[in-house]
Amino acid sequence: VKQIFTASNIQPLKKELEAFLESIITQHPPLVTGEDGKAALAVAWQIINKIKDNQNNGKNISDCGRSFS
């Protein structure tokens, strides 16, 4: 299945803050929970650490099992 993603003029941080404020005003749960954010941050740190490990071992990103060319 091929998916096509397009960029838009939406400012992600602004939209995130607006959604958070809306959840406070309406007293509805936020679209993204603190646990969701924590999990996403953990994945991001794993990616960063893997890149650093590969750089320290003299590997290019294309040496990590899949070519991105």
- pLDDT of residue 68 exceeding 60, the answer is no
pLDDT, tens digit, 9 for 90 and up, residues 33-48: 889 999 999 999 999 9
Token pair, residue 29, equals 């749960």
Residue 2's pLDDT is: 83
Cα–Cα dist 18/16, whole Å: 5
Cα–Cα dist 66/62, whole Å: 6
Cβ neighbours for 51, distance < 8 A, ≥ 6 positions apart? 61
pLDDT, tens digit, 9 for 90 and up, residues 9-42: 778 889 989 999 999 999 999 888 889 999 999 9
Q: How confident is residue 4, by pLDDT bands cut at 50, 70 and 90?
A: confident
